[in-house]
Amino acid sequence: MTEIEEWWEEQHNKNNLLFLTGTLLESVEYNHNLRHRIESNTKVLNVGSGNVSIELGLYERGCEIYSLDISKSALDKVRSLIHNAKVYTTKEYNKIPNHYFDVIIHNFVAQHMNNTDLVTQLEALILKLNNGFISLQYFESDVLNQRNLTDEKMGGYPRTFDELKLLVNEAGGKIVMWFCPPDWETSRIVRIVKL
């Protein structure tokens, strides 16, 4: 296991809410401008299950649950709450159905990822889209710190828009929409589709 994988296992095992966040589905829909986009028949993949709050919202909505997380413990928690959820670790991109999803939610995860891992993940996720899009939240700053492993753990990995655009292109995608979410000032949301 890599150091960052071990670190996330520890946060999930300790149920450290500081890092598991717990964003409600309604807040994701509001800030990602996804209102009325997610119905019972919408195929949604959530990246970064945290304390399972987004999955529980999707479950109440009647959606099938698909989760991707770096941590096996996180996914065990999803399965313990939603028995028929389909869950995947970041080592199992190949098991996720291809050309399937209408919406992939990526909320409060990119700030914990380095550029190499983000490109690898986006490349895999783009293949999973069925004419849909990835709605990705990231923190934006022109002042980029060193961005080391501690920054990944702490969620201190901001990007400029130009940098993110390059990474998305490298992964085989393009940004078709970009906006500031109403509740999260220093954050940005991008919609990514296949190039």
Ligand X SMILES: C[S@@+](CC[C@H](N)C(=O)[O-])C[C@H]1O[C@@H](n2cnc3c(N)ncnc32)[C@H](O)[C@@H]1O
In the complex, the residues that contact ligand X under the rule CB under 6 A are 8, 19-23, 47-50, 53-54, 68-71, 74, 90, 107-109, 112-113, 117, 121
Sheet containing 101-106, strands listed edge to edge, beginning at the edge strand earlier in sequence:
86-89, 66-69, 44-47, 101-106, 129-139, 187-194, 173-179
Shortest distance, CB of residue 68 to ligand X, whole angstroms?
6
Specify the residue, 94 or 131, whose C-beta has the smaller distance to ligand X: 94
Shortest distance, CB of residue 107 to ligand X, whole angstroms?
4
Shortest distance, CB of residue 53 to ligand X, whole angstroms?
6
Shortest distance, CB of residue 33 to ligand X, whole angstroms?
16
Specify the residue, 5 or 102, whose C-beta has the smaller distance to ligand X: 5
DSSP characters for 35-99? TTT--TT--EEEE--TTSHHHHHHHHTTPPPEEEES-HHHHHHHHHHSTT-EEEETT-GGGSPSS
Specify the residue, 11 or 43, whose C-beta has the smaller distance to ligand X: 11
Specify the residue, 109 or 134, whose C-beta has the smaller distance to ligand X: 109
For the CA atoms of 50, 134, 89, 39, the dihedral, rounded to the nearest 10 degrees, stands at 70
